[in-house]
Structure 1
Amino acid sequence: MPDRSPPGYLVEYVNGGDSNHENHDNYISWSPKAVFEDAYQPTTAMAFGHAVEALKRGMKVSRAGWNGKGMFLYMEEQTTSNAAMERHLGLKEHFSHGGVIIKRAHIMMLTAQDDVVPWLASQSDILADDWCIVE
C-alpha cells in the first residue's frame, strides 16, 4: 500500500525539550513541508535578520557575495573597563558611570587582510539573502 502521509520534515530539537519518543533522546515533531520551509531557512542562504540572530548566539557569519576570501563578522559582547586605565582616550571626564567605560556590544569584521575592524552594514548587506554561518 502506498504511503499517503503528507510531505514534511521530522524535526528533532537537540537544545531543549524532554524526549517524547522512545527512539529519540530529544523532543521531536512532524512539520508539514510548506510550514517548515516558510519557518526555516538554510544556513547557507540566510537573510540579514537571521545572520544578526546567529551573531547574537556567538556564531560567525559571512556573505557569499563578498569578494575577499576568509572574511567574516563576529560580535563582541559588552565589556567594561576603568576610565583611568584608558586615559589615552582623553575622555575620562565624559564617563558618568563612576569612572567606568562601558563598551557596548558591537559587530566586528575579520577582513581579507586578516585585520579586525568595526563593521557597519551597507544597504546591500541588509537586503542580501546570501548570508551564511562560518564554521
Structure 2
Amino acid sequence: MKFGQAIEALKEGKKAARKGWNGKGIFLELQVPDTHSKMTHPYIYIDTTGLQTDNENAPKSRVPWLASQTDMLSEDWEVVE
C-alpha cells in the first residue's frame, strides 16, 4: 500500500511497516497524547524493541520517527500485527 494509506491505518490504531525495511519486528505506531502526557499533539514513533537481528548492537527502542522521501514514495507499506 502507499504511504497515505499507511498513515490512515495508523490513525485507525493499527501498526504499519515497510516490507523493504531491514530486519523483522520493526513497525510504526501513532501516539495520541492523553491527560498525563507532556506532548500536546499526536506523533508517529518507530518501535524496534522486537527487532530480529544478528547484530547485538542494533538499537531496540521506541523513538519519534520522520519519513524520508523514499519512505513517502514507496508502495510497499503494510499493516502489521
Larger Rg: 1
Q: 1:81 to 1:66 in 2, by over 3 A?
A: same
Counterpart in the other structure of 2:30: 75
Count of aligned positions: 72
1:107 aligns to what? Answer: 44
TM (normalized to structure 2)? 0.79
- Percent of counterpart pairs with the same letter? 49
Match of 1:117 in 2: 63
Task: Provide structure 2 residue ranges, at least 5 long, that are not aligned to the other structure.
Answer: 52-58
> Is the strand fraction higher in 1 or 2?
1
1:61 aligns with 2:7: no
Report which of the two has the higher share of helix.
1
The answer (yes or no) to whether the contact 1:80–1:102 under 8 Å persists in 2 is: no
Q: Which residue of 2 is the match for residue 90 of structure 1?
A: none
Q: Distance in 2 between matches of 1:102 and 1:109?
A: 16
Amino acid at match of 1:47: K
Structure 2 residue matching 1:109: 3-state secondary structure: strand
Question: Could you list the runs of 4 or more consecutive aligned residues of structure 1 that deviate by over 6 angstroms after TM superposition?
Answer: none
CA drift of 1:69 comes to: 1.5
Larger RCO (CA under 8 A, 6+ residues apart): 2
**Partner AA of 2:77 in structure 1:** W
